[in-house]
Amino acid sequence: MGNVLSIVFQRLALGLLTLLVVSIVIFVAVNMLPGDFAELILGQGATPESVAKIRTDLGLDQSLVSRYFGWLGGMLTGDLGTSFAQLNFQTNLGGGGGVTVGEQIAPRFANTMFLASVTAMIAVPIAVTLGILAALYRNTVFDRAANILTLSSISSPEFFMAYVLILFLAVLNPILPSLSNIYEGMDFSDRLQKTLLPALTLTLVVTAHMMRMTRAAIINLLASPYIEMARLKGMSPMRVIVKHALPNALAPIINVIALNLAYLVTGVVVVEVVFVYPGIGQLFVDSVKIRDIPVVQACCLIFAAAYILLNLTADILSILSNPRLRHPK
Amino acid sequence: MNGISRRGLMKSGVAAGVLGLTGMPLRAAATRGGKFTAGLSGANTSDSWDSRTHSDLFMIASCHGSVFDCLTEVAADGSLQGELAESWEASPDAKTWTFNLRTGVTFHNGKAFGADDVIESLQMHIGEDSKSAAKPIVEAITEMKKVSDSQVQFTLAAGNADFPYLMSDYHICMYPAGQIEEAIANGIGTGLYSVVSFKPGERMVAKRVDDHYKGDSAGFFDEIEYIAINDNNARMTALMTGQVDAINRIDFKTEALLKANPALRIQEVAGNQHYTFPMLTNSAPYNDVNVRRAIKYGVNRQEMVDKILQGHGTVGNDSPIGHANPYFNDEMEQLAYDPDKSKFYLKQAGLDSLDIDLSASNAAFEGAVDAAQLMQSSMSAGGINVNVIQEPADGYWSNVWLKKPFCASYWSGRATEDWMFATAYEAGVPWNDSQWDGDDSARFQELLLTARAELDSDKRREQYFEMQQILRDDGGVLIPMFANNVQAVNNRIHSPEKVGAVWQMDNARMSERWSVA
């Protein structure tokens, strides 16, 4: 077990380093985009004086390096800062407490997590079951059909899958709402109903990867001698796969599931925009549009952290699922 | 309405809503009750109840259109009527204005409305670091005096006959004095609807105020819900599937699908929004009026309306005054596409041909680059070779507009002539995007100041007609087209026959004027 713990610490330290690098890259990249917050928020009405005024108010007139370290300093003390839009608004009001980035992101992040969980709840069982069945009936019509369906859904762009689902489930057969504008105080069943279409879209997008990996990992093992032994014992094919092949195939499957779960958090931008789902992806798009760096930074760090943590979880789970790694000589 | 073509209808200046072919009878009286849900674009996560920062439909419809009130209000037919002001009178030089306020009005938190609120609400716009878009309007007031609780007197630096019109600006909403911060945080106004919940960039829900001063003549819904849907497709689908009752800005690509749906109708109104190509008249070659004329005749305007606006607009005549303005000059001869005249004016300028750069980006307006390319092909027949430069959309307004000698731009239009001219044509104002203030604009600038202080409507009409003619002939801004406001409504919602044209969605006042059918 000590081995696992040391891996966790090592990986967490590396993860922190990655986050630092990500924050630098994002900061520089956003600053390299033409136009800054002051120019974009004023639009056609940008006069040199008003642009200069907003820049001084927000500290945009300081150098890149000092702005970055200012932000980093706040970050390390747990202060994500205040979004430019909020700061600008406060100076309009003449001071007064506003909403911080953390408070702005929290409800959006919760919504995205809700969407990701609903999707995972649907996608993971379907993908794993389909993968096992495809391995069991490999090279049959069922296997081919499952492969073609999942591969074509992963190959189409997300917005296209979204519109196909809207066409069939919202326009032609009005079963589900095309608008997923969930809000606080909605009861759970309404919330679930509104979330279903984006969740189904994401399911279509992530299923193929997980299913193909399950199938491949199991088929890979079916040639091993111990599987042959099991078969010779007279076990049914289903039992051979579930009891003997699956436990040994878990490590790669868990890895892929974790990767796809990370995608559910970080890759939902397009789906959220199409369905008007108030998640972190929409907030991210809005913030990039107006170069609201504190919000963009915070969103990116959340995305990066989600990736790092889920990858770490995947590694740990695959170690735990493999006795050889659990008890090294 | 079948027999009238859309263009014919617009030309006649009727600017009426074009009903679908549903044959739904229009009823005279609206009934109270029900809920209205609209899917609107123009929402941001940075939105707030601070009217100084508003610039797009979602917040204008929520704040100015539902929760807050102004002193005056532009009616659907373009005339001015009182909102929180009952009446007003001017001194003969249009310099001193006295507003009589409505009495017995209360804010949603119970505070009574009075003269102090007016003065403090106006002062919000003029602090030293104010970034309010209405700053120039309020700065023109040299003195604000409370005569009594229900009467305020304003003294202006110079006479302005349109001053009451300016008080209908959606930036200048009335806030409760002494509680402005609280009012901005929670949305406390005097409007027909009080806020139930508001999530910036997501949704706004409000319920009808009992015993409102507007009585039973306005505000017919029990509850309104505005949902922020910036994505075109999502907005169209939400309307098609009945999740919202109305949307602004329909997508012309899928317009046929909306038309085929018998439950929906499309409202098309000739508005003041126009797409422009300003030329910097203080730099060569645009400092020569003949070059400007050559360019004006070199543009095929009808083609641009057909291809860029897909027919949802009218041709422009190089004047920014549109059908929705009170003194729109409909007697001016329309500038036509005439390459020969183009060549003629080039000769007058002493040139055989002309090479110019035209900067465009879709940040100016959707389709600006295509429009520039159309101009390139139409102008080549008249001997003008246009080199279209596609500028990056980011930073367009700060790097290209007002800086490049010939570029694409747009204006959403203003309710009055003077307001529009004062924004973008008066000598010395920052947004005079053609820098047209030299000797050849002397007559225009002179008329601008005279007409501003003129209280006699007939004389003003004459003056504004002449100014529009001057702009058409000599002005530095090419205005090839005016866009219509096109929105769609479910037939379960009734809207009056006359729909406001100054802003999208019945001047953003659908919660006040529409009702459940």
Whether residues B437 and B343 fall in one domain = yes
The pLDDT score that the predictor gives to residue B47 is 84
Beta bridge partners of A196: none
Q: What is the CATH number of the domain that holds B449?
A: 3.10.105.10
B133 interfaces chain A, CB cutoff of 8 Å: yes
B 291-330: CB under 8 A from A: none
Whether residues B471 and B341 fall in one domain = yes
Q: How far is Cα A204 from Cα A202, in angstroms, rounded to an integer?
A: 5
DSSP helix/strand/coil, A86:
helix
Q: Identify whether A329 is part of a domain.
A: yes
Whether residues A234 and A155 fall in one domain = yes
Residue of A nearest to B433 (CA): A44
Whether residues A318 and A265 fall in one domain = no
> What does the block give as tokens for B418?
């003077």
B227 interfaces chain A, CB cutoff of 8 Å: yes
Whether residues A4 and A65 fall in one domain = yes
pLDDT tens for each residue of B161-179: 999 999 999 999 999 999 9
Q: How far is Cα B388 from Cα A90, in angstroms, rounded to an integer?
A: 42
> What does the block give as tokens for A247?
């436990």
Q: Identify whether B287 is part of a domain.
A: yes
Whether residues A323 and A263 fall in one domain = no
Q: Identify whether A49 is part of a domain.
A: yes
- The domain in which residue A302 lies consists of 1-99+290-329
Whether residues A276 and A193 fall in one domain = yes
Taking a C-beta distance cutoff of 8 angstroms, is the pair A116, A303 a contact? no
Q: List chain B residues with CB under 8 Å of A93.
A: 50, 181, 184
End-to-end CA distance of chain A: 13
Q: How far is Cα A295 from Cα A83, in angstroms, rounded to an integer?
A: 6
User: Which residues of chain B are under the pLDDT cut of 50?
Assistant: 1-27
Among B44, B132, B430, select the one facing A47 at the smallest CB separation. Answer: B430
Vertex A250: Cα angle to A248 and A256 (nearest 5): 145
Whether residues A303 and A276 fall in one domain = no
- The domain in which residue B309 lies consists of 270-484
What's the structural domain count of chain B?
2
Q: Identify whether A259 is part of a domain.
A: yes
Whether residues A133 and A274 fall in one domain = yes
Beta bridge partners of A152: none
- Asked if B127 lies within 8 A of A94 by C-beta distance, the reply is yes
Among A43, A183, A276, select the one facing B231 at the smallest CB separation. Answer: A276
- Asked if A286 lies within 8 A of B44 by C-beta distance, the reply is yes
Whether residues A60 and A131 fall in one domain = no
- Asked if B203 lies within 8 A of A181 by C-beta distance, the reply is yes
- Asked if A85 lies within 8 A of B46 by C-beta distance, the reply is yes
Q: List chain B residues with CB under 8 Å of A166.
A: 237
Q: Identify whether A137 is part of a domain.
A: yes
Whether residues A123 and A42 fall in one domain = no
Q: List chain A residues with CB under 8 Å of B237.
A: 166, 170-171, 178-179
B178 interfaces chain A, CB cutoff of 8 Å: no
Q: List chain A residues with CB under 8 Å of B245.
A: none
Whether residues B289 and B182 fall in one domain = no
- Asked if B131 lies within 8 A of A92 by C-beta distance, the reply is yes
B130 interfaces chain A, CB cutoff of 8 Å: yes
Q: List chain B residues with CB under 8 Å of A292.
A: 46
Among B197, B243, B394, select the one facing A33 at the smallest CB separation. Answer: B394
B 399-428: CB under 8 A from A: 399, 401, 409-410
Q: Identify whether A105 is part of a domain.
A: no
Among A86, A104, A276, select the one facing B229 at the smallest CB separation. Answer: A276
Q: Mutation target for B interface from A32, A84, A87, A92: give the one with most B CBs within 10 A.
A: A92
For residue B98, what is the DSSP state? E
pLDDT tens for each residue of B326-355: 899 989 999 999 999 999 999 999 998 999
| Best CA proximity match to A218, nearest among A153, A129, A325 | A129
Q: How far is Cα B209 from Cα B222, in angstroms, rounded to an integer?
A: 9
Q: List chain B residues with CB under 8 Å of A40.
A: 394-395
- A164, exposed or middle or buried, with CB in 10 Å at 0-12, 13-18, 19+? middle
Q: Identify whether A107 is part of a domain.
A: no
Q: List chain A residues with CB under 8 Å of B233.
A: 163, 274
CA atoms in the 13 A half-sphere facing the CB of A199: 23
Q: Identify whether A36 is part of a domain.
A: yes
Q: Identify whether B337 is part of a domain.
A: yes
The pLDDT score that the predictor gives to residue B46 is 78
Q: Which helix (H) or strand (E) holds B132?
A: none
Q: Identify whether B238 is part of a domain.
A: no
- Asked if B394 lies within 8 A of A35 by C-beta distance, the reply is yes
- Can you list the alpha helix ranges (DSSP code H) found in chain A? 2-32, 37-42, 48-58, 64-76, 84-93, 101-136, 141-155, 158-166, 188-222, 225-232, 237-239, 246-266, 269-275, 280-289, 293-320, 323-326
Q: List chain B residues with CB under 8 Å of A86.
A: 46
Q: What is the CATH number of the domain that holds B96?
A: 3.90.76.10
What's the structural domain count of chain A?
2
Q: Identify whether A108 is part of a domain.
A: no
Q: Identify whether B152 is part of a domain.
A: yes
pLDDT tens for each residue of A188-198: 999 999 999 99
Taking a C-beta distance cutoff of 8 angstroms, is the pair B99, B71 a contact? yes
Backbone φ and ψ of B151, nearest 5°: -145, 130
Compute the 3-state secondary structure of chain B and give helix, strand, coil in percent, each to the nearest 5.
30, 25, 45
Distance from CA of A209 to the nearest CA of B (A): 28
User: Which residues of chain A are under the pLDDT cut of 70?
Assistant: 1-2, 43-47, 89-98, 328-329
